[in-house]
Amino acid sequence: MKYFLLMICALGSALAQTARNPLEEMTERLATPEPLPYGPALMEQVQANLPQMPLLLTGEIRTRREEGRSTRRLISELRFGDLPPKLSFELADAFGSPMESFRVEWRENTPVWIQEDTSIETPEELADTGLNGADLALEFLWWPGAETTGIRRIRARDAYEVRIPSPTGDGGVRLWIDKRALFVVEAETLDENEKVLRRLQVDKLKKIREELWMVQDLVIRDYENDRTIKIRFSDVVELER
């Protein structure tokens, strides 16, 4: 027993002599880069983290441009838990008169746009809002070739920075994904020279149920055309399957 106690005392003495300054330990930890998740696997997690229950969203799209402002009403039905996953949009003017309606289905991770039961190309602009189809459906979440390039503090959140090349070969996107909640905090559309063409930012979240949050306010700044587009979802209703 005496020998055991001597061993403990000797060990304690040795630890005391070799103990490092806490500041040195912290500096070393900060200097050690955190392992980055594999890009495609991270994007699969982001897709899987989309709400799987059917939801009905009601809101507005407000566009501010040099020549004035416009308001469009938006009704969107999310069915990411279906096979294939689906997303529908109905757009109306400020008085509620219908303007356009679309549906998107992800078939083998490829978005297929449908209007009046006919497949169409991704819309270039929706109801004179300045939004294109890729904006509203967040098509880049399904693009291949994602690469996680770092970690950054953005909009008061620790986020993974991810680069994804455009499938068409002209530019791509740079996005930041919240490390804990795995949703897109911010995204930038880039041209082939890395110039930022559009920036999408999550401005406010809305709690639907425990551990489930939805985007309430979304802001898109279109630098090419000098306009700002704000999407606000005022009401979210869970539908029956």
The bridge status of strand 147-154 relative to strand 68-79 is unpaired
Residues 220, 198 contacting (CB under 8 angstroms): yes
pLDDT at 60 (0 to 100): 96
Whole-angstrom distance, CA of residue 189 vs CA of residue 39: 18
pLDDT at 4: 30
**95: CB partners within 8 A, 6+ apart:** none
Domain spans of the chain?
37-238
Q: How far apart are CA 162 and CA 183, in angstroms?
A: 12
- CA-based torsion, 186, 40, 209, 238: positive or negative: positive
The pLDDT value given to residue 14: 31
Supply the pLDDT for residue 144. 94
Q: Which fold has domain 37-238?
A: outer membrane lipoprotein receptor (LolB), chain A (2.50.20)
Within 10 angstroms of residue 123's Cβ, the number of other Cβ atoms is 19
State the chain's maximal CA–CA distance in angstroms. Answer: 91
pLDDT, residue 202, reads 86
**pLDDT lower than 70: segments of the chain:** 1-33, 206, 208-214
pTM, full prediction: 0.79
pLDDT in tens, 106-154: 998 889 999 999 999 999 999 999 998 888 888 999 999 999 999 999 8
> Which DSSP letter does residue 123 get?
P
* Alpha carbon distance 148, 168 (integer Å): 20
Both tokens assigned to 127: 């109801």
